[in-house]
Chain A
Amino acid sequence: MFYREAGQFKTSYAADQTVFPIVQDRWGVAAMVAIAFVGVPLVASEYMLQAVLIPFLIFALAAIGLNLLTGYCGQVSLGTGGFMMVGGYMTYKLTTTFPDVNILIVFVFAGLCAALVGFVFGLPSLRIKGFYLAVATLAAQFFLGWTFNKVGWFYNYNPSGTITAPPRELFGITITGPTASAEVRYLVVLCIVAVFAMMAKNLVRGRVGRSWMAIRDMDIAAEIIGIQPIRTKLMAFTISSFYCGVAGAMMVFLWLGSAETEAFDINQSFLVLFMVIIGGLGSILGSFLGAAFVIITPIILTNAPPMFGIDLPIDLQKHIEIMLFGSLIVFFLIVEPHGLARLWQIAKEKLRLWPFPY
């Protein structure tokens, strides 16, 4: 009843092009931001931050990265874990080599390294599509895993082969390493994800996003309009990998604290792909919804049954989780490729008309 568009007239194209054109949406978003930045750090437990919110945000950024490439530009990739690995390892290498450089700047440079790697592994997309491209990116995943395992230089020849986040400060507050508090790490992750999510949204609603979608929807027509497929696809690979790289950097430095190449294996690539499909291909909001769903479902499966006095064995939980994801992916791919984000939109449209069905 109160969620209405009527009476809100756009008087300029600028107003019509804002991300949240409806006033109620803007208030909702403002409230969410306030809760995320102020409410959560005050009330959330260490467990909540470490097991739920921090990984949710980090994976949301990786999902945005993959969504730019797969959802918007239509290029399938199974190399997400590999690109995240580049971000994680390069952050380690750079910050141990240049300890005085601000860690956020290191994140950006690590992201740029991942972007470069993404560019190179995007080159096959100029000749191959779909399934074959997926296989080529899979090769990237395994090649990168092998490289970071075998080349000691990347982990400073440390015998365990593990990279560990050293303590680094931002404005005098320790944000990485074992002494950094969960609240601080959460806030840093939140800021980074918020900024990059906004930038991704801006990209996809402007010329760049339209050129990606044009290539995705009808590459011949795109070419005849003047879009160069080569440049456009490589740009999608590059920017997407940058996002994945930054997500990987945050994964090691702001969440796990230490990692080996297994932390970025093929399972992560699939997990992020599941997030994108369940959340919605071609939607930034969907990347968040998908990440939330994939992160939170296992936690619910672990915690809910005991509350009802049911004792699910761990492996059964895992199987239920896999079956659930599998069936949802089949459902979304066939019935609703725009995923949870689309369902959310439909719900909003219904609400806009409520209580009148027409």
Chain B
Amino acid sequence: MTENTRKIGNTLLRVDDITLSFGGVHALNGVSFEIKEHEILAIIGPNGAGKSSMLNVINGFYHPQKGTIAFEGRERKRMRPHVAAEQGIARTFQNIALFKGMSTLDNIMTGRMLKMKRSFLWQALYWGPALKEEIENREFCEKVIDFLEIQAIRKTPVGKLPYGLQKRVELGRALAAEPRLLLLDEPMAGMNVEEKEDMCRFILDVNDEFGTTIALIEHDMGVVMDISDRVVVLDYGRKIADGSPDAVRANGEVIDAYLGVSHE
């Protein structure tokens, strides 16, 4: 994929001066950055830098002590995760958080929860509008299943799937929501080279075909350099760099952070 097939648009999400601490631990310290429409933003940094915490702040799971978040220009300070979901923010987790007792298909169907509106009374009849809604959403989920090439495991309980496939199903569940902003927390962690290549391809395709904006956390620098449009680097809860992959790679402070040069 080349740069000119997509048009990077205006700011979709802006976090401003986010400060988050747990007791004495400062997970995030005055972090500000933007995510632009249609771009792939990588968030990198050493372990414990606050990357996952940042995603948790964005989708309303953690409430920062200071700072604001503006999604599509609408500013907010605190909100519940389901509101973020309603606004079109979906995510995957660092440690897979699938619904273990359900099949692949049901997991992905659950991702479409917000697209289904019929009341439980209609559902109890499983007829008329409720059936129509179920089938329409099933059709969409089948598209996601085809896209991720997981047709064969449609009816398999996800608990029985190997790790790499579980990660893929989790991506499917997030995609089912047709998100505007997709947050991926280490989507390739623990995968072998082939699985990583598949996952990269899916991420690029999602971005390319559906124009979904993606923010991803990744430790594999090769992957980050390959697929991201822009990189934000966190270290000890602070943002230390923000720019194109090449610029960030050349940045001295980033090199220090990764080589573990002492700070104080």
CA distance A221 to B183 in the complex (A): 13
Majority secondary structure, A binding face: helix
State whether B82 touches A228 (Cβ < 8 A).
Answer: yes
Query: What chain B residues lie within 8 Å of A200 (beta carbons)?
Result: 124
With contacts A206-B134, A217-B99 taken as known, whether A239 is within 8 angstroms of B82 at the C-beta atoms is no
CA distance A208 to B122 in the complex (A): 11
State whether B85 touches A226 (Cβ < 8 A).
Answer: yes
State whether B100 touches A218 (Cβ < 8 A).
Answer: yes
Interface centre among B59, B90, B113, B138 (most CB of A within 10 A): B113
Interface centre among A200, A213, A217, A235 (most CB of B within 10 A): A217
Q: Does B163 contact A (CB under 8 A)?
A: no
Q: Does A203 contact B (CB under 8 A)?
A: yes
* Chain B: minimal CB distance from A66 (Å): 17
Tell me how many residues of A have a C-beta within 8 Å of chain B.
31
State whether A211 touches B123 (Cβ < 8 A).
Answer: no
State whether B135 touches A13 (Cβ < 8 A).
Answer: yes
State whether B177 touches A226 (Cβ < 8 A).
Answer: yes
Majority secondary structure, B binding face: helix
* Chain B: minimal CB distance from A277 (Å): 15
Residue from A17, A217, A228, A282 within 8 A of B138 (CB atoms): A17
Residue from B82, B102, B114, B123 within 8 A of A206 (CB atoms): B123
Q: Does B173 contact A (CB under 8 A)?
A: yes
Q: Does B97 contact A (CB under 8 A)?
A: yes
Binding stretch for chain A, among B4-12, B18-26, B103-111, B195-203: B103-111
Binding stretch for chain A, among B125-133, B219-227, B244-252, B256-264: B125-133
State whether B85 touches A225 (Cβ < 8 A).
Answer: yes
CA distance A223 to B80 in the complex (A): 9
* Chain A: minimal CB distance from B128 (Å): 12
Jot down 29 A-B pairs with beta carbons below 8 A, ordered by A. A17-B134, A199-B124, A202-B126, A203-B120, A206-B134, A207-B109, A207-B113, A210-B113, A211-B110, A211-B113, A213-B110, A214-B99, A214-B110, A218-B97, A218-B98, A221-B93, A223-B81, A223-B82, A224-B59, A224-B81, A224-B84, A225-B90, A225-B111, A225-B177, A226-B81, A226-B86, A227-B110, A227-B113, A228-B80
